[in-house]
Structure 1
Amino acid sequence: MFVLPQTAGCAAFVQLRQLQMDNSSFLSLTVVLLGLLGPCLTRLTPRVSFPMGSPGRRLTSFINDDIKNTTLLLLTPDEETLYVGARDALLELDVSQKDAMTLKNKLDWSPSDKDLEQCSMKGKKLADCSNFIRVLEFLNSSHLYACGTFAFSPRCTYINLDEGRGRCPYDPYQRNTAVIVDGELYTGTVADYRGNRPIIARHLSEGKRLDLKLDDTLGWLEDPTFIRSIYIPHEEKIYFFFSEAGREYDFINKFIVSRVSQICVSDVGGQRTLQRRWTTFAKAQLLCQAGSELPYNVLQDISILPPAEGAPADDTLFYGIFTSQWSVFSIFLYLSTFYLLKGTGCGLHNASDNALRFVKENFLTEDSVRPVARSLTMVSAEHIYCRLSVQRVQAVNRKHYTMLFLLTEAGQLHKAVLLRGGAHIIEEIQVFQNPQAVKSLKLSIPKGVIYVGTSERLVKIPVSNCSFYWNCAQCVLSRDPFCAWDPVGRACVEIFEAQTPLNQDVDGGNVEEACSSALLTHRTRFGPSTCPAGELVSVSLNEVVRLHCPAASQLSQQQWERPNSRLSSSLYLQLKDGSLSFVATPTTLGHYLCLSTENGYRQTMAIYHVKQKSSQAPTSYTHQTPVTQPARRPSPNTSTGRQKDNTPSLSVQSIPASSTHRLHDGELLVSSRGPCYLKELVAVSILLVLCLSLLITISLYFIRQRCHCKTIPQPQPSSRDAGKVTPEEVEPTGNKTLGKSNSEVARGRNARGFVCNGITTSSDGLLPNTPI
């Protein structure tokens, strides 16, 4: 059993080199890895987070109770229509409107009752016997080609239904891939009911071209999980990305490896050797590894990034998500342009039988695909990513930045930008809550939206959210290549819509340089004789006060200041959420200033004036909740998107009165009501005193019972006994008491002797008639 070793500090690097073509290698691939080892990486925290339904992030959803599992998406070339492969249905949605998705047509394609009965008799769950569409491609300009699982009996259709084996999996949860090139369908899937015959094949060939597939007897594939197939026009090749069991590691029980393989679209098979079989198939290992550690060996998803405008076609890049077979870490793999069968080309149909036999026996390259970058860039221990899309954006400085849209298993969509210092997660958007088995992403660059298909619903999300940033500082600190500050319109806008020079700093996020000093909301300072007005907080002495400081972002840090005074740790407690807690005393009354610091820029978030209540004031007072808002009023077409539900509030143990609003230093501070616990505190104190009094009373009672002391009554002597002297009257030393009368003796006894539990004691504490 292998255990993933711990990272040996932050100095670990990947051995980097570029593969060269040799006689025994069919594949040459240039790779760059993105990932940074866990202990070397600070926590990847999204700067802004939007829960589901948050007004700060506009989402458009398509929900229909009769339509589920909308997990296969296909956009038309004009990107006005979105075709959706769902469960038992094919949908045509109009997505031309910015904030709407309208159902235009629905094609029901469900198995018959007989098909469902046969599927159930095979031991399958009835819910899995539906028709889950798994292949959806444009056959030509007028026809679609779709394949579905169809009750574990795959079917395909474009005009009429036909046989679907070898083109679509049987199991709806088994991953597959397909792409259509010039009317021919290329698939990576399984060709049998049990899923034991993996296949990469070509279908719908016409004329002299033949349908081709892998030779099942050669073991070219070992229990693969297909991820994606991508056609590269300038190379006339199709690349298949998948993970499979590595036969070359036969000393490890089912060691998973990630692969990339190629086929040429011009391949027609061999004349004698490899007839109706691929002659251009080759595969290599994608080695995502840092130093001597075990590799991140399981490929999750892959996405293509075309070259920038005017750049050579060889600058095509691929981005992928890798996870480890032994750990929960996820890592990014950044693949640069690669070439398969470089030097030999795709024309092997006229090759000799000896050459084809060599191809048949040496389809796996000796060398693995290794990175050419110097280090890993990103490792996420707290997020497990499952899908991604990638886009290149040109910023205000004319520099291109790579944007990643990453879907987590937990249902969040992360928008990240790759910078020189590593990945920066700009925002986090929750798109679904319940666990989803199959999910998909489809990015529309011309429309500026990304589609997320899940089992619950279909969601359309704009790639930019510039109107959320209410001032220049927040716009620059977001470091979003899509957004920049317009000093004329005093708004954060999309760079494609602006007609004036914009302020932006994606690389550094330097507010002081990017924003004009006249437009900045400077930090408020306490002067020697003046204090800012602030929000009034009336308190009683000895109350516990808690002042909240709203965070500008999840990357900011809050600090507190007082005029001409330091916040002693013996008097003040700053909590993890940035709030300040203390007891109201004459020393702690006065002004408090809350500051937020991010990337070296400090700004005022809240100002409070804590004041003692007057004797005539009621037992209630107002406590305030500061919420940072834009100083200007947004236009009806602009969404400020501030989240009021998640804004921290000030809590002081008193009763609130009316709410107030005040605009200070370009930021709106809003007051709200809050709970009071003064009456409850008095009631609890009274009950505590009563309980203690009762406990003391009961304790004294039992002590008195155990030791009950009282005076012993003495009877009056009769005349007959008046002259007698009792033994008790005789002094231990022999002195007599004849000089005293009986009454005096009695009085002396009562004055000097007491009975405790039936035993007489003298006033000096000694027993009577006891020698001293």
Structure 2
Amino acid sequence: MENRSTLSVIVALLGMLSQCLTHLTPRITFSIGSPGRHLTRFSNHDVGNTTTLLLSEAGDMLYVGARDAVLALDVSHEDVITLRNKLDWSPSDKDLEQCSMKGKNIADCPNFIRVLQFLNSSHIYACGTFAFSPRCTYVNSESLTMSMKPDEGRGRCPYDPYQRNTAIIVDGELYTGTVADYRGNRPVISRHLSESRRVDLKLDDTLGWLEDPTFISSSYIPDEEKIYFFFSEVGREYDFIDKFIVSRVSQICMSDVGGQRTLQRRWTTFAKAQLLCQADNELPYNVLQDIDTLPPAEGVPADETLFYGIFTSQWSVNSGHSAVCSFRLSDIRAVFSGNYKVLNRDTLQWSTRVQEKVANPGECGLHNASDNALRFIKENFLADDSVRPIDRHLTMVSTGYKYSHLTAQRVQAANNKNYTVLFLLTESGYLHKAVVLQSGAHIVEEVQVFEQPQPVKSLKLSIPKGMIYVGTSEGVMRVPTANCSFYWTCAQCVLARDPFCGWDTVSRTCVETSNTQISLAQDVDTGNVKETCDRGTFTNRVRFDPNEVSAGELVSVALNEVVRLRCPAASHLSQQLWERPNSQLSSDLYLHLGDGGLSFVATPATLGHYLCLSIENGYQQTMAIYHVKQKSGPLVQTTSSYTALQTLTAAKTQAAPSPSPGLHSFEFWPLLKKTMQGDIEPTVSSMDTTPVPTQRGLNLTVWTPEPGQTETDFVGGELLHSAREPCYLKELVVVSVLLVLCISLTITMFLYVVRLHCRSRTVPHTATPSRNSDRRTPVEHEAPRRNQLFNKSNRHSPHSGQACGSGCNGALTEGNGHLPNTPI
């Protein structure tokens, strides 16, 4: 209890000491279907859960493991993905019935393909859940047909389609990390399809080598002939915390054949260590989500192999955050070469080993070791030290996005310098392209891949084709890694800081660095436009001179009219600035809107030229030029622009709109106050202007009125018209009519109630029948009938309309209750 209280205090203190994280913002956003970012999608109504992807070496064929099927997709064409072959592989009705009888949801009983690996140049090895009874088979990669009858896949493929697994085939042998039982309680790391004198191996589960793991990925290192597995599990060494999750890296040697007496058919080279994604004075990001291997550059030793992983935290202080950490292979080797913890069999507690080292855990070639050495290996498999990120720093931290999958690529820039580019998929359906720099990560762009969040199990990168493939529950989406043609000026090409793109000064276009040998203008590290671009290729306005303005938009307004000028943002990282010649934009006359626009009332002092600048990374570019002029003729809005501006406006019109900040009423409060005080004549209209864009397909727009609606309806109609002198004549007439109707209705209801009350008192009372009530003669039975006839005749008499009070009944009846002159 005391330890847990201490831990709670430590967690709270670390949360308070956490450094202020910079919110990483993508520079440009492309919504789904945007013409500025071309995507290709494959979907079929008969195909679902395309979540296992396998890409051919040349990148022309994509094999997809789906629900009850294996697909071969032709991805060699840029604009279309076509289905070449399809292998139907579904359970029988009997299998589905047995799966349902086991208590499983019928929707989880189909055959979900979870293992798809190249066995050799002609065959693919595929495994599926097959109604919670895993099956595996060999598939011809050309004809997509089964080469043999499926066999049992226990230990190779999970039973449950929601359980994560990893599989890799090296030299014809399958290495897997999955669960080996129906309930999912027996995690295993095993080898299958062994040939010659080698045998299939698996972990020894008597000491709990794995503690409820979630397998993420596996990687083969050729120089070491080792397989590395990455997963998250419960850290039993932290016995003072319940269910404390830790991220692990484990290793096994491919040459391992098990021990002769001890650890027979079991791994003798298994070892695991903790992956610690943590910065100084911060809580660790302890839950591994995905990891990718980045091989070293050509000519660089294998020790420089990097592993980039996405981590989240189980602590509430970092809830919703994602961190990316990179680990070097040499650091992993050093941890496995160090000391190991030892497990006390009596107390099941871990402690640092103090006894003499009998053998080196994780060392290859231990299958011929003595039984004493193998027993030592069996009990000492957890490294004492943790693998820490490169330079003890996090690669990037995202506080606004939660990442689920990533893939990494090394790109050579125009200056022959290598940069690491990460493609990260968010849970909300956006793909981020981020470049890793010394100053921190820079997100070049974000691309919306799908509208609604959905399960994503695979993210494949085709370096030869420059494409990324995303496998979702509905289909496969292809995204090009480069989008250089979107940047149509040198400044925009440099400000993007994209290692894939550079500015060609000859063709004056932004091109991919891998497609040309010409020296390109590019600055990935700082994005300095002044030093990178030729000064003759762009204009960097510092001071505004209207005499030099040869293009702009004429805005004709009437005096006292509310004018709103718009200014599109060049990117999410830019800031808008308005300028006037020889004049300051006083806050008393001008309102700077949240979307970068400018609003003011047209007066002789506010007429003239306006220039909107966008400032990004020290570079200024003109976004819009306006000339506000007083109307000279009838109240007809006339707007003229130059041909160049019309071309730019057409480019903006083709771009898909994206949400923009709304126009809030408090922004016009100073103007409303002046109007109510009588400083401004309350005769208001508005001018809708169209800005001059500087990029094609840029998804940054502002409020646009509906057809037939002007900004007067939106601004003046809501605020300024309310300042006019009110007139309530119509309202007074309506209220008076309603009041008269209400009074009339009340009187009518009251008279109706009085009439009902009077009628109820004139009707004879009927006595309750008794036992002797029917003992009457025929004459007595006839008397009531006569009375009724008498009453009816009286009602139609001339005096029946006289008022009846309390004595009405007394005038018509006697004390015995019978009508007068009626024989009894």
The two structures share one fold, judged by TM-score above 0.5:
yes
* CA positional deviation for 1:524: 7.4
The residue aligned with 1:689 is 726
| 1:566-586 superposed Cα distances (whole Å, 9 cap, x missing partner) | 011111111221111112222
Q: Tell me if structure 1 keeps the 8 A contact 2:125–2:137.
A: yes
Q: Tell me if structure 2 keeps the 8 A contact 1:547–1:650.
A: no
* CA positional deviation for 1:646: 4.2
* CA positional deviation for 1:644: 4.9
* CA positional deviation for 1:662: 8.6
Secondary structure at 1:496 match in 2: helix
* CA positional deviation for 1:690: 2.6
The residue aligned with 1:608 is 626
Q: Tell me if structure 2 keeps the 8 A contact 1:167–1:188.
A: yes
| 1:623-651 superposed Cα distances (whole Å, 9 cap, x missing partner) | 989998998999xxxxx997253498999
Q: Tell me if structure 2 keeps the 8 A contact 1:5–1:294.
A: no
The residue aligned with 1:221 is 210
Out of 615, 618, 635, the residue aligned to residue 635 of structure 2 is 618
1:91 aligns with 2:71: yes
1:460 aligns with 2:460: no
Q: Which amino acid aligns with 2:300?
A: A
Partners of 2:631 and 2:498 in 1: CA distance: 47
Q: Tell me if structure 1 keeps the 8 A contact 2:546–2:609.
A: no
Partners of 1:665 and 1:439 in 2: CA distance: 35
1:676 aligns with 2:674: no
* CA positional deviation for 1:457: 1.6
Distance 1:227 1:530, change over 3 A: closer
Partners of 2:643 and 2:593 in 1: CA distance: 17
User: Percent of counterpart pairs with the same letter?
Assistant: 66
Greater mean deviation of Cα atoms: 170-179 or 336-345: 336-345
Q: Which amino acid aligns with 1:689?
A: P
| 1:161-201 superposed Cα distances (whole Å, 9 cap, x missing partner) | 00011110111010000011111111100001110000011
| 1:293-341 superposed Cα distances (whole Å, 9 cap, x missing partner) | 4321101111011110111122111110111011222111101113275
Out of 635, 657, 672, the residue aligned to residue 645 of structure 1 is 657
Distance 1:698 1:413, change over 3 A: closer
Partners of 1:538 and 1:377 in 2: CA distance: 53
The residue aligned with 1:152 is 132
* CA positional deviation for 1:376: 2.9
1:314 aligns with 2:303: yes
The residue aligned with 1:400 is 418
The residue aligned with 2:459 is 441
Q: Tell me if structure 1 keeps the 8 A contact 2:623–2:694.
A: no
1:304 aligns with 2:275: no
Out of 179, 182, 191, the residue aligned to residue 193 of structure 1 is 182
1:105 aligns with 2:85: yes
1:231 aligns with 2:223: no
The equivalences for 1:278-677 within 5 A come to: 278-326=267-315, 327-337=319-329, 338-339=332-333, 342=337, 345-523=363-541, 525-527=543-545, 534-614=552-632, 616-622=633-639, 643-646=655-658, 675-676=709-710
Distance 1:665 1:284, change over 3 A: closer
Secondary structure at 2:514 match in 1: coil
Distance 1:105 1:531, change over 3 A: closer
* CA positional deviation for 1:532: 5.4
Secondary structure at 1:238 match in 2: strand
The residue aligned with 1:759 is none
Q: Tell me if structure 1 keeps the 8 A contact 2:231–2:248.
A: yes
Partners of 2:644 and 2:323 in 1: CA distance: 37
Out of 217, 229, 234, the residue aligned to residue 240 of structure 1 is 229
The residue aligned with 2:760 is none
Gaps of 5+ in 2: 139-146, 338-359, 669-683, 740-824
Q: Which amino acid aligns with 2:110?
A: S
Secondary structure at 1:280 match in 2: coil
| 1:436-455 superposed Cα distances (whole Å, 9 cap, x missing partner) | 23332100111111111111
Distance 1:547 1:650, change over 3 A: farther
1:121 aligns with 2:101: yes
Q: Tell me if structure 1 keeps the 8 A contact 2:36–2:697.
A: no
The residue aligned with 2:143 is none
Partners of 1:451 and 1:104 in 2: CA distance: 17
| 1:59-96 superposed Cα distances (whole Å, 9 cap, x missing partner) | 11101111111111111122211100011110001111
Secondary structure at 1:357 match in 2: helix
Partners of 1:479 and 1:410 in 2: CA distance: 25
Secondary structure at 1:475 match in 2: helix
1:178 aligns with 2:167: yes
Greater mean deviation of Cα atoms: 431-440 or 376-385: 431-440
Secondary structure at 2:289 match in 1: strand
| 1:334-387 superposed Cα distances (whole Å, 9 cap, x missing partner) | 011132754773101100000000000111112222345043342111011110
Distance 1:152 1:396, change over 3 A: same
Secondary structure at 1:368 match in 2: strand
Distance 1:475 1:610, change over 3 A: same
Partners of 1:573 and 1:625 in 2: CA distance: 27
* CA positional deviation for 1:540: 2.2
| 1:479-525 superposed Cα distances (whole Å, 9 cap, x missing partner) | 00100001110100001122432111111101011100111133274
The residue aligned with 1:140 is 120
Distance 1:379 1:209, change over 3 A: same
Secondary structure at 1:110 match in 2: coil
Superposition TM-score, scaled by structure 1 size: 0.80
Secondary structure at 2:515 match in 1: coil
Partners of 2:229 and 2:612 in 1: CA distance: 55
* CA positional deviation for 1:473: 0.2
Give the structure, 1 or 2, with the largest relative contact order (CA under 8 Å, sep 6 or more): 1
Greater mean deviation of Cα atoms: 292-301 or 254-263: 292-301
Greater mean deviation of Cα atoms: 166-175 or 513-522: 513-522
Q: Tell me if structure 1 keeps the 8 A contact 2:449–2:477.
A: yes
Q: Tell me if structure 1 keeps the 8 A contact 2:423–2:431.
A: yes
Secondary structure at 2:485 match in 1: helix
Q: Which amino acid aligns with 1:153?
A: S
The residue aligned with 2:34 is 54
* CA positional deviation for 1:609: 1.1
Q: Tell me if structure 1 keeps the 8 A contact 2:623–2:692.
A: no
Distance 1:191 1:540, change over 3 A: same
Q: Tell me if structure 1 keeps the 8 A contact 2:69–2:86.
A: yes
Q: Tell me if structure 1 keeps the 8 A contact 2:40–2:479.
A: yes
* CA positional deviation for 1:526: 3.0
Q: Tell me if structure 2 keeps the 8 A contact 1:301–1:387.
A: yes
Distance 1:437 1:389, change over 3 A: same
Q: Tell me if structure 1 keeps the 8 A contact 2:27–2:445.
A: yes
The residue aligned with 1:742 is none
Q: Which amino acid aligns with 2:321?
A: F
Distance 1:663 1:454, change over 3 A: closer
* CA positional deviation for 1:53: 0.6
Distance 1:578 1:89, change over 3 A: same
| 1:527-547 superposed Cα distances (whole Å, 9 cap, x missing partner) | 386765521112222222211
| 1:125-182 superposed Cα distances (whole Å, 9 cap, x missing partner) | 1111111110000111111101111111111111320001111011101000001111
Partners of 1:439 and 1:432 in 2: CA distance: 14
Greater mean deviation of Cα atoms: 640-649 or 326-335: 640-649
Higher helix share: 2
Distance 1:140 1:128, change over 3 A: same
Partners of 2:429 and 2:540 in 1: CA distance: 38
1:275 aligns with 2:309: no
Distance 1:629 1:440, change over 3 A: farther
